[in-house]
Amino acid sequence: MVLVVLAVFLVASIDHLSNTATNTNTVSFSGEGRIFAKPDIAIISFSILTEAATSKKAQDDNSAKSEKVVKFLKDQNIEDKDVKTTGYNVYPQYSYPRPASVPLGEGTTGSAYFDPNPKITGYQVNQSFQAKVRNLEKVSTILDGLVTAGANQVSNLGLQVDDIEKVKNEARELAIKNAKEKANTLKKQIGIRLGKIVNYNEGGGYPIMYYAAELKADGRGGNTGGGPSIPTGENEIVVNVTLTYQIK
């Protein structure tokens, strides 16, 4: 009985050592792929801020401004699917009374006193939007026209590649090719034989080019009437991969 148990233990130990050897006898190679792509769409984020004495009045006024802004975008051939509301908030506006001296008698005053409870003086509605512009030649005109149409602030402009997956696939192919070239070089240099790929890892960066488009209806943000100049440049898409091979 002891011999049988010992034999089973030895078989299990040998199998464990075999698995350990398979797992540890590996070598990894990293590869990088870079693609430069010209942006073909713009994402514009903007807001409409409205204040009024009552919540209903503020919301009604905001709706009227929103309709005007959306109509402007439609006139610029921006489709409904490319315009969406990203936020809608209603805030009460408060007044905080300042301390005032309390007269006690002729020529004298007492300590300051005021009502510590703030008063609601009105309401503010803030509706934020995001619009996708597929014709980059219109970006400058749209940025300028949004403010004229009623948008209080244009907060961000992002230039990006619409079909980013296609570009990532191209960068991935380059990264894998780079890693395999490193593997072929090393196996010739140190005389090893590589088996199958047993692991794959991927990372990378897919940046969006952003502009801070602080265009405000009060004219303090640089709204000169002609629209800003928007050079598109290129976006750099980077994919990093790691290929792990078994060593035969």
* Residue-wise pLDDT tens digits, 80-103: 999 999 999 999 998 877 665 555
pLDDT band at 188 (very low <50, low <70, confident <90, very high): confident
Instruction: Give, as one character, the DSSP assignment of residue 191.
Output: T
Q: What's residue 212's pLDDT?
A: 52
Q: Give pLDDT tens digits for 143-165.
A: 999 999 999 988 889 999 999 99
Q: What's residue 143's pLDDT?
A: 92
Q: Strand pairing of 153-160 and 209-211? A: antiparallel
Domain assignment of residue 4, yes or no: no
Domain assignment of residue 231, yes or no: yes
What single letter denotes the amino acid at residue 36? F
**Domain enclosing residue 155, as ranges:** 27-94+118-247
Domain assignment of residue 65, yes or no: yes
Q: Which residue has the higher pLDDT, 207 or 16?
A: 207
Residue partners of 103: CB distance under 8 A and separation at least 6: 109, 110
Count of domains observed in the chain: 1
Domain assignment of residue 8, yes or no: no
Q: Is 219 left (phi over 0), alpha (psi -120 to 50) or beta?
A: left
Residue partners of 158: CB distance under 8 A and separation at least 6: 42, 43, 45, 208, 209, 210, 211
Q: To the nearest whole percent, how much of the chain has pLDDT over 70?
A: 73
CATH classification of the domain holding 210:
3.30.70.2970
Count other C-beta atoms under 10 Å from residue 14's C-beta. 10
Most confident range, picked from 24-28, 69-73, 203-207, 230-234: 69-73
Domain assignment of residue 211, yes or no: yes
Report the mean per-residue pLDDT for the chain: 81
Domain assignment of residue 200, yes or no: yes
Domain assignment of residue 20, yes or no: no
Give pTM, 2 decimals.
Answer: 0.68
Domain assignment of residue 132, yes or no: yes
pLDDT at 112 over 90: no
